[in-house]
Every structure is written in C-alpha cells, then in structure tokens.
Amino acid sequence: MENILKDWGGLRIIRLLMGIYIIVESIKEHQTLLGLLGGFFLYQAIMNTGCPMGACEVKPKSKTQESTTETVDFEEIK
C-alpha cells in the first residue's frame, strides 16, 4: 500500500480535523444540524472536494502579463 497521505495538503487536513471536532461537539451537545456540518467537512476531506474544477487555484502570472507602465509627464499650472 502506497503512502496514503501523499496527496493530503494543508487545507484537506484542516477540513478533516474540523469535521472530527465538529462531530464530537455535536454529539456532546446533541445538535443534529451541527453534526451534519461536521459530516460535510469530513466528506470534503475524504473525497478531496472543496474547490470544484480548481476554482480556488491561484494561477501564476504568465510572462506575457508583465507590467507595462508608462511614464506620465505632469505640467504645473499656476
């Protein structure tokens, strides 16, 4: 069996820990809706869903998008 945690990033681990914590607290407090929220976080962590189709991905700036600033000359008006 390969390394199970190799594709686990920081946000995925945070979702897992949040889901576990929320579910434990919902059991303590007898809160069903809070348990559903915890289940949602666990589902996201286990299935690795969170940013559909890479919507949360920050794309690097391409070389063609380099800043082209122009020099502006100002005249003083008296």
pLDDT in tens, the chain (78 residues): 455 566 778 888 888 999 999 999 999 999 999 999 999 999 988 887 776 666 666 666 666 555 667 788 888 888
Tell me whether residue 75 is in a domain.
no
Q: What is the DSSP letter of 66?
A: -
Range of the domain at 7: 1-50
Tell me whether residue 69 is in a domain.
no
pTM for the predicted model, two decimal places = 0.60
Range list of H helices, the chain: 10-29, 32-47
Tell me whether residue 6 is in a domain.
yes
On whether the CB atoms of residues 32 and 26 are closer than 8 A, the answer is yes
Q: How many domains does the chain have?
A: 1
